[in-house]
Structure 1
Amino acid sequence: MKGKHLTLLIGPAKYQEDDQRMVSMFLAEPGKKIICGSTTATMVSRFLPGGELPTPTNVPGLILVTDGTMTLRLVLDLLQGFIMDDLPHRTDAKALVSSLLEANSISFLIGMAVNKSQRSLSLPAKPVVKSRLVRELADLLQDKGKQVMVEYF
């Protein structure tokens, strides 16, 4: 991938034995990196020295660790031009939008594990929510001339 590259890691793999491969790919990606979701950050920590949570100090290129599905929904709304006042996590969503727009190429590494915490957000506890949001984001970004790669685990 050429130019400014951004990689988003979203959710653990469907099969836990694939988490390490997913994290290894994420860490090997060039450019800036964003982790979406606290469960995802915890997954990454299992493969970092000392089990520390990911930070820009221990993950080169990491610029943001944000909430998962809710922030992705806000990012999509922002990119589609919807007005959002006083919404939680808006700062993270705006930072994520800026990073997406700045990048020439974007890799989405999507874990398809069911996230039980989504139940408390009144979202279906199905990976389809996450994958649908990413597909919509990928399509929108491609329409904006971005080179987009999506890989599912």
Structure 2
Amino acid sequence: MLTCEIDYAKKNKNGEEICGDSVAIKRDSNKVVLSVSDGLGSGVKASILSTLTTSMATTMLFNDLPIDEVFSSILATLPVCKVRGISYANLCSVIFNANQNACSIVEYEFPVVLYFREGKILELKKTTTTVHDKEISIAKITPQEGDSLFIMTDGISQAGMGTSTFPLGFGIKNITREISTLLEKKIKPSSVVRHLVRLAQRLDNGTRGDDALAAVVRFKTLQTLNLFVGPPEDKTKDEFLVKTFMEQQGKKVICGGTTAQIFERVLKKKIDLDLRSFSEDLPPVGKMEGIDLITEGIVTLTHAFRYLNGQQQNLGYGASILVDMLLEADQINFFVGRAINPAHQNPLFSHDISLKFRLVQDIAQILQQKGKIVKLEYC
């Protein structure tokens, strides 16, 4: 079964503290909805309007409301610029049904939507409908593994506008050529969107520029990652929980030395430490038959969280592998043991907000914001 790998990057207009372009994602194992909106103008006002637009669209479409009803509600809500006679935000929503392998792309006054297969651009065949006297276009596709859908606000297509090199902006033709070249060189689509935003930043140097957002939806086989973090609260359930974890589909990771020892005892298998992976910041990683990665617990999770949250750039060996696995996976299942390590527990706080639980919850939230399916199970 196919699913969607989603990534995006954005930049603020020069002088603005917030980006006026927004993205919203909702998903489960069977359905994915992504919405991108460009608020008219820039800054806080544009951000409020684009966020309102993406939030409404994504929530309503995810709950299976008809497209015309969704856009009727949005267009009735959005104010209209009296001078230009246009809405204060545009919109592109992607709705993917995994069970049917069917994807719909719905656009309202949106500048750039490009569909690629094997590095080549494919034409999107669109039909139109009218809602509140506004034209809505709809394209339906049957994606194949490896297909990529790129969605960009006009901060990308109009980058460099007014310069001698691109007096009318970078343009869709140049964007298409840039993406094709990168995909043919086997550059990851997630890296392509970051490149496009950096390129827009360079082209806007010395100009007023604009907010810019580039997103990609890549269709791929669902990949699952299972993490067992910390020992269970009830020791009598060790064997049952270990065997349940081992029956899960997908890759498996154990975080924590005590937890790893439980698996070693129950499974009667030995952990092999990779002493070459030792660093000043982190202990070495381990491996065991049936387990893809074994790491230290709290410190490794802290490094992973700081990296995912943008607080840290360099990672030790174990944390680097863990982060790569988290970002590669589409669905992440956390099995979180409730046993408390006194060394990690502030006596002033309650059981529910121990350091371990807080780290897992914070990492899960970041992964959900990146469009991952995240499940938490406490034991």
TM over 0.5: yes
Letter in 1 for 2:322: L
> What residue number does 2:270 align with?
52
Q: Aligned partners of 1:82 and 1:38: how far apart in 2?
A: 26
1:69 aligns with 2:287: no
Letter in 2 for 1:91: Y
Q: Aligned partners of 1:84 and 1:20: how far apart in 2?
A: 38
For structure 2, the residue ranges without an aligned partner over 5 or more in a row are: 1-28, 30-220, 273-285
> What residue number does 1:79 align with?
308
Q: Aligned partners of 2:265 and 2:239: how far apart in 1?
A: 9
Cα offset, 1:22, TM superposition: 1.8
Cα offset, 1:144, TM superposition: 0.5
1:13 aligns with 2:232: yes
- Pick the structure with more helix per residue: 1
- Aligned pair count? 143
Q: Which moved more, 1:12-21 or 1:32-41?
A: 12-21
Q: What is the TM-score of this pair, normalised by structure 2?
A: 0.35
Cα offset, 1:63, TM superposition: 1.9
Cα deviations by residue, 1:90-127 (Å, 9 ceiling, x for unpaired): 111111110000000000001011124x35xxx53767
Cα offset, 1:84, TM superposition: 4.9
Instruction: Indicate the structure whose relative CO is greater, using CA pairs within 8 Å and at least 6 residues apart.
Output: 1
> Share of identical aligned residues, percent?
36
Rg larger in structure: 2
Alpha carbons 1:12, 1:113 under 8 Å: kept: yes
> What residue number does 1:147 align with?
373
Q: Aligned partners of 2:262 and 2:288: how far apart in 1?
A: 17
Cα offset, 1:132, TM superposition: 0.9
Q: Secondary structure at the match of 2:266?
A: coil
Alpha carbons 1:22, 1:109 under 8 Å: kept: no
Matches within 5 A, 1:109-148: 109-116=335-342, 118=343, 124=346, 128-148=354-374
- CA pair 56-94 structure 1, distance change in 2 beyond 3 A: closer
Q: Secondary structure at the match of 2:375?
A: strand
Q: Aligned partners of 2:270 and 2:237: how far apart in 1?
A: 20
- CA pair 70-52 structure 1, distance change in 2 beyond 3 A: same
Q: Which moved more, 1:29-38 or 1:18-27?
A: 18-27
Q: What is the TM-score of this pair, normalised by structure 1?
A: 0.83
For structure 1, the residue ranges without an aligned partner over 5 or more in a row are: none
Identify the match of residue 108 of structure 1 among 312, 329, 334: 334
Letter in 2 for 1:52: K
Q: Secondary structure at the match of 1:39?
A: helix
- Pick the structure with more strand per residue: 2
Spell out structure 1 runs of 4+ moving beyond 4 A. 54-57
